[in-house]
Structure 1
Amino acid sequence: MGEAKAVGGAVGEAAGTTTGEAMPHRQVLESLSGLLLVLFVAMISSTVVSTALPLIIGSLNGSQTQYTWVVTATLLTATASTPIWGKLADLFNKKTLVQVAIVIFVLGSVASGFAQNAEQLIGARAVQGLGVGGLQALVQVVIAAIIPPRERGRYNGYLGGVMAVATVGGPLLGGLIVDVPWLGWRWCFFVGVPIAAIAFLVLQKTLKLETVRRDDVQVDYAGAALIAAGVSVLLIWVSFVGNSFDWVSWQSAAMVGGGVVLLAIAVWVESRVREPVVPLRIVRTRTASLAILGSLAVGLAMFGGAVFLGQYFQVGRGYTPTEAGLLTIPMMAGVLVASTVAGRMISRSGRIKPYVVTGAVVLVLGFLGLGTIDHDTSLVVVSGAMVLVGVGVGMTMQNLVLIVQNSVPLRDLGSASASVTFFRSLGGTIGVSVLGAVLANRVTADLTTAFGGRGLTGGGEETSALNLAALPPEVQQVVRMVYGDATAHIFVIAAGAALVGLIAALLLKPVTLRNTIDLEQSPKDEPVTDPITR
């Protein structure tokens, strides 16, 4: 209890008070300016690449599996580092940590821009993911440290707006960059560097937080490493099973068994260390566990499904990167409107479950709609389904984080926020890897059938199916039809994942958001009781 008070006092000083009360609205907006720019940098790093990725992998003569891993590498390192960033936020100055994450992000972005092959690009994107993981987790932690949960719904509208601008503007910007001859795809990675530098300077000027110092600092690097290793082994298995080796084989047994053993050891470590990266006492509470399950399912559906929309429009439908960016606007508009409106209504009523449940239902319907598309489906139908997906994401993703934040004391805020973000990112990582593997296997099988077992050739040598420019026109047409028709299967799987999120949302207890930064009472060594509507 004394530790919680000490942290609360530090936040109070940071907010310009001595009682741990929230900042005035104007001061919050000043602090948010830098944080929102940081969030924009993290978001645009992936969205600006999304529409350009088919062309990038094609120009590097990469495969569908490598296409998937360019995305998976970033998500995986971001996921693995998120709990560490969250724990560090409980121990060190949050502002300094955000700036460190910005530097790592810039280094990864520059390395990605100079990559000469798909393998180098995957490695550089992994470094970039370390920075992205820090930026995404720390922004949530800092906001939670200065704004009470009840008021946070109001400011979630600003977060949703930034996310929408990044997700709408990113694909358009990426499309324009690759369509302009004197720029080229490498600028999709370089473009975030000056924005990150500006964010660094704005944070230095606007964000004022006191440093909370503790002498007994311990970070569970072993737990984080074991979790990352276990997940990585399983995702690598998913990427290659059925292609490089059979489902029932010694390779499958070794990789699945090894991954499960590593994760089991990770759970054992987390139950023994004093300051675990994923505190089991938080995860075990009903509200937190269901919100985390919902976040994992939503992350799997959203990341796993949306990542392949740009590929569907370009490879499956023949649109340019810029046109593909424009065609994703309906989904991003749904995110913007839903997150803004739902955030304000939640702040007004303090009730959050109805909006999360509604969003989960809409998300399932949206992915079911996308599960019916093929290479010549009307764009009106595709756009309508994307709007539903966007609305579902806007109403669920951020609010599931808010539910967990509302149920823990201030001293656990960093770990709790990072834990739910971790599982959401883990869901996205699994989703991209699994759905990418499903798509790759389906496309490979269909192309093999279409061409009678012969590989694709261009200029006399083996050519990637994504390198359409090197293929004859008649071959391009077959590749487009195969990709356009195969994509629907991954959206059906995404709908199944979203359904799991809906079930978790329905099982949540009705929660009333509190008006204070910290819980009124939070026993130091016991699980926190969920604040339930009386």
Structure 2
Amino acid sequence: MDHKHVLRALSGLLIVLFVAMISSTVVSVALPQIIGSLGGTQSQYTWVVTATLLASTASTPIWGKLADLFNKKLLLQIAIGIFVVASLGAGFAQNTPTLIGFRAVQGLGMGALQVLVQVILAAMISPKERGRYNGYLGAVMAVATVGGPLLGGAITDVDWLGWRWCFFIALPFTVVASVILARTLHLEDVRRPDTKVDYWGASLIAAGVSLLLLWVTFVDNDFAWISWQTGAMLAGTVVLLGAAVVVESKVSQPVIPLHVIKRRDPALAIVASLAVGMAMFGGAVFLGQYFQIGRGKSPTQAGLLTIPLMAGVLLASTVAGRLVSRTGKVKPFILAGTVILAGGFFGLATIDAHTSLVVVGAWMFLVGTGVGMSMQNLVLVLQNTVPLHELGAASGAITFFRSLGGTIGVSVLGAVLANSVSGRIADGLRKLGIDGAAGAAGGGSGTLDVKGMPAPVQAVVRGAYGDATGHIFLIAAFIALVGILAAAFLTPTTLRDSVDLAESAPAAVAPGTTTDGGTVPGGPPTDTAPSGGRGPDEGRAKTPVS
């Protein structure tokens, strides 16, 4: 596909990526009103978020592997259908259990759309040229992540729309994207008669990740960090994921290709992605809370105040993507991005309830710039090392680890924030001559109706949230240092010009090994063809898909 046709197909891909990303954040501001309208409980409140998170994260590597085995365009159309049906069901839900069920199904569609968009783009464009297009993906992800709460607040505040439109809003865009993709997306369909779906590996990975995320969700709320529940859930996670590793190491077509992710550069890219994922998700979540509770802003105002973060990602991802395509070098941009990211977090660690919003915005812009320079380029590092027939599994793996790292990071930082806020509120209330126990408990649960409190108590609560938020960003800064170390040890390589690894691989490669010396499990080499020779899929029946 030439540049003009790629741009046409890309417009549809960007739309579905946008609606998938924004659907995970648009309900965050509206959730209190949604649960109140449906008569739900606090436990159900949590599950509206958790169900989507579990389904999306656990299914991501599975969708990635399916993209290696089956028609990518057909899988994308199936994922869009799942997402549309689930969004309609959630919007029309009349009780909370129904809403939770459709949110879980929606999570399946969201996980599929996020990874399939990256896989399809990689199947059309070489890693070197992919840089500028990945910049567009990063920009869309940033706008959706940061703009979701703003859009949700605006929809909820409009009486003639209401919270149900938080689910309906994506539908017209999805229909438009489906029409565009049906007309413009043309991929070569490679028939693979040896296709085998690793059901055991997929089931073990999904079960292990789900158990881990359940522990992350409930620890420090429903039970203590050190408790029998923690021990049982972590032990179960280790057993399930350990069994998954054993299965993945033995099957011929694993869901997560261990021979890829255990190599140096892919492993380092995954470690760095964990840090960047935490920045992308955690930054939006806790900055929004800081502006609303710590600074007394409305949901819409809080969304507007996060624009510097979004602007940083938008600008940096676009510019860095074009420079990567022009130079073919990716490590300098990743390393610079992680350094800027850590610097921005160290700056945010100094904020309190009285810091100038201009200063806060400047530090947010640095965080956004760091995310924009590194997030999508880390995907390029992994994609550059694998042949076309493993592209889906590799892309799914790094997306999975980035999402998992962000989820765990948000939970841990949230627990630290809740404990810090509880202590500060209790101390502040005692100084006012009020028993601080109730205030501490309320601060930890995050269900305080600040506007309904007396002015002196409001000042205590806002001060507690405003001052405590800086501490969690200090933790985030130290985690970002891990990303710097991982980026520093990446191999300085030039991105290849070919879509498939086989087209540019050197001729002198030992049978049964990859171009970097890794072993190809389960059969003959797949990327040993010399440049211009027969590729791994040549000779198989190929049918163009319109």
Aligned pair 1:389/2:367, yes or no?
yes
User: Which residue identity is paired with 1:199?
Assistant: A
Aligned pair 1:466/2:447, yes or no?
yes
Moved more, 61-70 or 403-412: 61-70
Per-residue deviation, 1:218: 2.0
User: Which residue identity is paired with 2:396?
Assistant: A
User: 1:117 and 1:374, CA in 2 relative to 1: closer, same or farther beyond 3 A?
Assistant: farther
Moved more, 398-407 or 256-265: 256-265
Partner of 1:6: none
User: 1:39 and 1:465, CA in 2 relative to 1: closer, same or farther beyond 3 A?
Assistant: closer
Deviations 1:334-379 (A, max 9, x none): 0011011111111111111000000000111111222222233221
User: 1:331 and 1:400, CA in 2 relative to 1: closer, same or farther beyond 3 A?
Assistant: same
Per-residue deviation, 1:432: 2.3
User: Aligned equivalents of 1:181 and 1:353: distance in 2?
Assistant: 49
Q: More relative contact order in 1 or in 2 (CA 8 Å, sep 6+)?
A: 1
Partner of 1:487: 469
Per-residue deviation, 1:516: 0.9
Moved more, 161-170 or 418-427: 161-170
Aligned pair 1:131/2:109, yes or no?
yes
Partner of 1:163: 141
Per-residue deviation, 1:515: 0.8
Partner of 1:151: 129
User: Aligned equivalents of 1:414 and 1:92: distance in 2?
Assistant: 10
Per-residue deviation, 1:117: 6.8
User: Aligned equivalents of 2:287 and 2:363: distance in 1?
Assistant: 12
Deviations 1:61-101 (A, max 9, x none): 98998776654543332221111111111111111111111
Q: How many residues align?
A: 506
User: Aligned equivalents of 2:321 and 2:87: distance in 1?
Assistant: 32
Moved more, 194-203 or 70-79: 70-79
Partner of 2:505: 521
| TM-score of the superposed pair, with normalisation by structure 2 | 0.84
User: Aligned equivalents of 2:225 and 2:396: distance in 1?
Assistant: 34
Q: In the TM superposition, what are the counterparts of 1:234-383 in structure 2 within 5 Å?
A: 234-383=212-361
Asked if the contact 2:295–2:353 (Cα under 8 Å) also holds between the matched residues in 1, the reply is yes
User: 1:512 and 1:480, CA in 2 relative to 1: closer, same or farther beyond 3 A?
Assistant: same
**Misfit runs of 4+, over 6 Å:** 57-68, 116-119, 461-464
Asked if the contact 2:421–2:444 (Cα under 8 Å) also holds between the matched residues in 1, the reply is no
Query: Residue 435 of structure 2: which of 437, 452, 462 is its match?
Result: 452
User: Aligned equivalents of 2:443 and 2:137: distance in 1?
Assistant: 46
User: 1:68 and 1:338, CA in 2 relative to 1: closer, same or farther beyond 3 A?
Assistant: farther
| TM-score of the superposed pair, with normalisation by structure 1 | 0.86
User: 1:512 and 1:72, CA in 2 relative to 1: closer, same or farther beyond 3 A?
Assistant: farther
User: Which residue identity is paired with 1:139?
Assistant: V
Deviations 1:145-189 (A, max 9, x none): 111111111222332343344346534322321221222233222
Aligned pair 1:410/2:388, yes or no?
yes
Asked if the contact 1:374–1:488 (Cα under 8 Å) also holds between the matched residues in 2, the reply is yes
1:210 is paired with a residue whose SS is: strand
Which ranges in structure 1 are unaligned for 5 or more consecutive residues?
Answer: 1-22
Moved more, 351-360 or 79-88: 79-88
Per-residue deviation, 1:492: 2.1
Partner of 1:179: 157
User: Aligned equivalents of 2:42 and 2:337: distance in 1?
Assistant: 32
Asked if the contact 1:40–1:163 (Cα under 8 Å) also holds between the matched residues in 2, the reply is yes
Asked if the contact 2:58–2:210 (Cα under 8 Å) also holds between the matched residues in 1, the reply is no
Superposed CA RMSD in Å reads 3.1
Moved more, 42-51 or 291-300: 42-51
Per-residue deviation, 1:311: 2.0
